[in-house]
Amino acid sequence: FEVRATPLPSPSIDGSVALLGLHDITALRRLEQMRADFVANASHELRTPLSSLIGFTETLSTSAKNDPEARERFLAIMLEQGRRMQRLIEDLLSLSRIEMEEHTPPDEAVVLPGLIASVTRFLEIKAREKTMTLSVEAPPDLPPAIGDADQLSQIFQNLLDNAIKYGRPGTPVEVRLAVVERGPPAMPAGLRAPCLRVSVIDHGEGIAKAHLPRLTERFYRVDKARSRALGGTGLGLAIVKHVVVRHRGAMTIESDPGLGTTVSVFLPLHGPRPPRRAAPSA
Ligand code: ADP
């Protein structure tokens, strides 16, 4: 709590009078702490590849100058570190752009099966390298979602990328689309029933229950070294969450350690809602 004093005019009393107020600043402090943590994390994430780039540049200009084999090796590492910084900066910029737009909900009609099929085409090579298959399953009459096509492409790319990264080689990654009777309570009541559900399903290592509530925090990873080695920034699911919030949708993460993970995104339908199925009469 913070105490604030406001002086009051008091012509009838000797001395001065003040109004003392107790203000709950817990939420404000928490926000300040989150911002400070974010800046510290982002700086740390950028500093590591930057130090490596500087170190290898120095080595290349001195001891490795006349060693063609070392030069090749160091240049490859430098390129990878540069790419890592680029991915991080692109994700940070995406997050800040999405945050700025959070209060203006999108209004395009987005046909999701086509949009997701384009994303899977883009990731096909990556999947094939792990002998994985990507499939999209949707009913033929699926209505469009209300959305921002670019942002939705980005989040399904992030989810499919995770499913490939953390999926077991040789297993399929499936995307299933459906209209569901009711979305999770996190969605605004008027948009929840019915709505669209897109599930990205992998058969990978899964995630222990204790980690699930924190996965959408910026830079939170179950295994930092493994995520980095796989090219992760730790921002993919934070981006998904912010896009979903802007769309007034919701997301759920279900996982069976050792068996796989299903991430579902729920989005409002565009246009007139399909009639609800009548309850069977007695
Ligand atoms: P990253 O860039 O590290 O993949 P994300 O924000 O996309 O960051 O995901 C956060 C963490 O959640 C990952 O580091 C990983 O530990 C875990 N994770 C995300 N998706 C999956 C998945 N499909 N299977 C297993 N773990 C996952």
Give me the percent of the chain exceeding a pLDDT of 90. Answer: 73
pTM: 0.87
Bridge partners for 6 per DSSP:
19
pLDDT at 275: 55
CA-proximal residue: ligand 1, atom 10 (nearest): 221
| Residue 95 and residue 242 in contact, taking contact as beta carbons nearer than 8 Å | yes
Ligand 1 geometric centre to CA of 166 (Å) = 7
pLDDT at 282: 42
Residue bearing the bigger pLDDT, 7 or 273? 7
Q: Are strands 17-23 and 2-8 parallel, antiparallel or unpaired?
A: antiparallel
**Predicted-assembly ipTM surpassing the 0.85 threshold:** yes
Locate 200 and state its tokens: 């990205």
CA-proximal residue: ligand 1, atom 21 (nearest): 162
pLDDT of 13 over the 80 cut? no
Report which of 56, 90, 38 is spatially closest to residue 233, judged by C-alpha positions: 90
pLDDT of 212 over the 60 cut? yes
Ligand 1 geometric centre to CA of 206 (Å) = 10
Give the position, in ligand 1's atom list, of the atom nearest the Cα of 206: 25
pLDDT tens, position by position, 98-150: 999 989 999 999 999 999 999 999 999 999 999 999 999 999 999 999 999 99
- Quickly list H helices, the chain: 26-61, 68-100, 112-129, 149-166, 189-192, 224-229, 236-246
Mean pLDDT of the chain: 91
Cβ of 232 closer than 6 Å to ligand 1, yes or no, is yes
Ligand 1 geometric centre to CA of 99 (Å) = 21
Give me the percent of the chain exceeding a pLDDT of 70. Answer: 94
C-alpha span between 116 and 152 (Å, rounded): 9
| Residue 49 and residue 81 in contact, taking contact as beta carbons nearer than 8 Å | yes
For residue 170, give Cα distances in angstroms to 132, 200, 202, 278.
5, 17, 11, 43
Ligand 1 geometric centre to CA of 260 (Å) = 12
